Amino acid sequence: MAIEQRDAPAADDLLKGLWRENPVFVQLLGMCPVLAVTNSAINGLSMGIATLFVLVLSNTLVSLLRRAIPREVRIATFILIIASFVTVVDYLIQAVSLELHKSLGAFISLIVVNCLILGRAEAFASRHGVSRAVLDGLGMGLGFTFALLCMGAVRELLGSGTLFGVAVLPDAFQPWVVMVLPGGGFFTLGALLLLINHMQARRAASAIPVEQA
Amino acid sequence: MNRADVIATDSAPRPAWQMYRAMVGVGVVCALLIVAVYLATLDVIARNQVEALERAVLEVVPGAVRFAQRDDLGQPVYAAFDAAGALAGIALEAQGMGYQDTVRILYGYDPAREQVVGLRVLQSRETPGLGDRVETDAAFRANFAALDVRLAPDGAGLLHPVQLVKPGEKTQAWQIDAISGATITSSAVARMLAASAAQWVPILHARRAEFVAPKEATDGD
Amino acid sequence: MSAPGRTLAIETSPHLASGASVDTIMRNVVYALLPVTCWAVYLFGLSALLVLVTAVLSCVLTEHLLCRAAGRPTSVRDWSVVITGLLYGLTLPPALPLWMVATGGVIGVALGKSLFGGLGYNAFNPALVGRVFLQAAFPTAMTTWYPAQLSGRFTELPAAVLTFPFAKPDFDGVTAATPLAQMKFDQVATPAGELLLGTTAGSTGETGALLILAGGAWLVARNMMNWRIPAAIFATVAACSALLHWAYPAQYPGPVFMLFSGGLMLGAVFMATDMVASPITRRGVVLYGVLIGALVVVIRLWGGMPEGVMYAILLGNAASPHIDNLVRPRVFGTSRGRAQ
Q: Which residues of A touch C168 (CB under 8 A)?
A: 171-174
Which residues fall within 8 angstroms of residue B158, CB to CB, at 6 or more apart?
Answer: B149, B150, B151, B152, B174, B197, B198, B201, B202
**What ipTM describes this predicted complex?**
0.80
Q: What is the mean pLDDT of chain B?
A: 83
Is the per-residue pLDDT at A185 higher than 90?
A: yes
Of A173, A177, A179, the CB nearest to C168: A173
Is the per-residue pLDDT at A139 higher than 50?
A: yes
CB spacing of C139 vs A179 below 8 angstroms: no
Which residues fall within 8 angstroms of residue C15, CB to CB, at 6 or more apart?
Answer: none
Q: Which whole number is the average pLDDT over A170-192?
A: 90
Q: Across the strands, what pairs with B66?
A: B81
Is the per-residue pLDDT at B2 higher than 60?
A: no
Q: What is the pLDDT of residues C189-245, one digit of tens each?
A: 777 777 777 778 888 888 778 889 999 999 999 888 899 999 999 999 999 999 999
**Alpha carbon of C152: minimum distance to chain A alpha carbons (Å):** 28
Contact pairs from chain A to chain C, CB under 8 Å: 27
Is the per-residue pLDDT at C54 higher than 80?
A: yes
Nearest CA in chain B to C136: B127
Q: Is A64 on the interface with C (CB under 8 A)?
A: no
Q: Which residues of C touch A180 (CB under 8 A)?
A: none
Select, from the ranges B123-132, B178-187, B201-210, C92-101, the one with the highest average predicted confidence (pLDDT). C92-101
Q: What is the pLDDT of residues C234-275, one digit of tens each?
A: 999 999 999 999 998 888 888 888 888 888 999 999 999 988
Three-class SS string for chain A? CHHHHHHCCHHHHHHCCCCCCCCCCCCCCCHHHHHHCCCCHHHHHHHHHHHHHHHHHHHHHHHHCCCCCCHHHHHHHHHHHHHHHHHHHHHHHHHHCHHHHHHHHHHCHHHHHCHHHHHHHHHCHHHCCHHHHHHHHHHHHHHHHHHHHHHHHHHHHHHHCEECCEECCCCCECCCHHHHCHHHHHHHHHHHHHHHHHHHHHHHHHHHHHHHC
Q: What is the pLDDT of residues C275-317, one digit of tens each?
A: 888 998 888 999 999 999 999 999 988 876 778 899 999 999 9
Q: Is B163 helix (H, G, I), strand (E, B) or coil?
A: strand
**C window 74-103, beta carbon within 8 A of A:** 100
The per-residue pLDDT for A3 is 42
Among residues A30, A37, A200, A1, which one has the least CA distance to residue A112? Answer: A30
Phi, psi dihedrals of residue C254, rounded to the nearest 5°? -80, 175
Q: What is the pLDDT of residues B69-95, one digit of tens each?
A: 888 888 888 989 888 888 888 998 898
Q: What is the mean pLDDT of chain C?
A: 86
CB spacing of B41 vs A94 below 8 angstroms: yes
Lowest mean pLDDT among A84-93, A183-192, C69-78: C69-78
CB spacing of B128 vs A180 below 8 angstroms: yes
Select, from the ranges B148-157, C48-57, C116-125, the one with the highest average predicted confidence (pLDDT). C48-57
Q: Which H or E run contains B109?
A: strand B102-110
Q: Which residues of C touch B181 (CB under 8 A)?
A: 140, 143-144
Q: Which whole number is the average pLDDT over C52-72?
A: 93
Higher pLDDT, C74 or C17: C74
CB spacing of C304 vs B184 below 8 angstroms: yes
Indicate which of A174, A181, A186, A189 best probes the interface with C, i.e. most C CBs within 10 Å of its own CB: A174
Q: Report the distance separating Cα A211 and Cα A201, nearest Å.
A: 16
Is the per-residue pLDDT at B120 higher than 70?
A: yes
Using CB atoms, list chains with 3+ pairs below 8 Å to chain A. B, C
CB spacing of B1 vs A127 below 8 angstroms: yes
CA B96 to chain centre: 13
CA distances, C323 to each of B200, C185, C279, C281, C297 (Å): 53, 35, 7, 9, 20
Q: Which whole number is the average pLDDT over A111-139?
A: 92
Considering its fold, how many domains does chain B have in total? 1
Burial status of residue A89 (CB atoms within 10 A of its CB: 0-12, 13-18, 19 or more): buried
Q: Where are the alpha helices (DSSP H) in C198-308?
A: 209-221, 228-247, 255-260, 264-266, 282-302
Q: Which residues of B touch C304 (CB under 8 A)?
A: 99-100, 184
Are C262 and C178 spatial neighbours (Cβ–Cβ below 8 Å)? yes
Q: Which whole number is the average pLDDT over A147-156?
A: 94
Q: Report the distance separating Cα C141 and Cα C105, nearest Å.
A: 16
CATH dotted code for C22-327:
1.10.3430
Q: Is B199 on the interface with C (CB under 8 A)?
A: no
The per-residue pLDDT for A68 is 86
The per-residue pLDDT for B4 is 47
CA A200 to chain centre: 20
CB spacing of A173 vs C167 below 8 angstroms: yes
Q: Report the distance separating Cα C302 and Cα C298, nearest Å.
A: 6
CB spacing of A178 vs C137 below 8 angstroms: yes
Indicate which of C134, C140, C144, C171 best probes the interface with B, i.e. most B CBs within 10 Å of its own CB: C140
Residues of A with CB under 8 A from a CB of B: 1, 4, 65-74, 76-77, 80-81, 83-84, 87-88, 91-92, 94-95, 97-99, 102, 126-129, 159-160, 175, 177, 180-181
Select, from the ranges B51-55, B217-221, C14-18, the one with the highest average predicted confidence (pLDDT). B51-55
The per-residue pLDDT for B49 is 87
* % of chain A surpassing 70 pLDDT: 93
Is the per-residue pLDDT at C13 higher than 90?
A: no
Q: What is the mean pLDDT of chain A?
A: 87
Q: What is the pLDDT of residues B164-189, one digit of tens each?
A: 887 777 888 888 888 877 778 888 88
Q: What is the pLDDT of residues C135-161, one digit of tens each?
A: 989 888 888 888 888 777 888 888 888
Q: Tell whether B2 is covered by a domain.
A: no
Lowest mean pLDDT among A75-89, A164-178, C116-130, C139-153: C139-153
CA distances, B181 to each of B187, B199, C134, C177 (Å): 11, 29, 16, 11
For residue C249, the 8-state DSSP code is T
Burial status of residue C72 (CB atoms within 10 A of its CB: 0-12, 13-18, 19 or more): exposed
Are B47 and A96 spatial neighbours (Cβ–Cβ below 8 Å)? no
Q: Tell whether B40 is covered by a domain.
A: no
Of B27, B38, B129, the CB nearest to A177: B129
Q: Tell whether B41 is covered by a domain.
A: no
Q: Which residues of C touch B184 (CB under 8 A)?
A: 304
Q: Where are the domains of chain C?
A: 22-327
Nearest CA in chain C to B184: C304
Q: Which residues of B touch A83 (CB under 8 A)?
A: 30
**C window 103-142, beta carbon within 8 A of A:** 133, 136-139, 141
Q: What is the pLDDT of residues C27-41, one digit of tens each?
A: 889 999 999 999 999
pLDDT band at C167 (very low <50, low <70, confident <90, very high): confident
**Alpha carbon of B161: minimum distance to chain C alpha carbons (Å):** 19
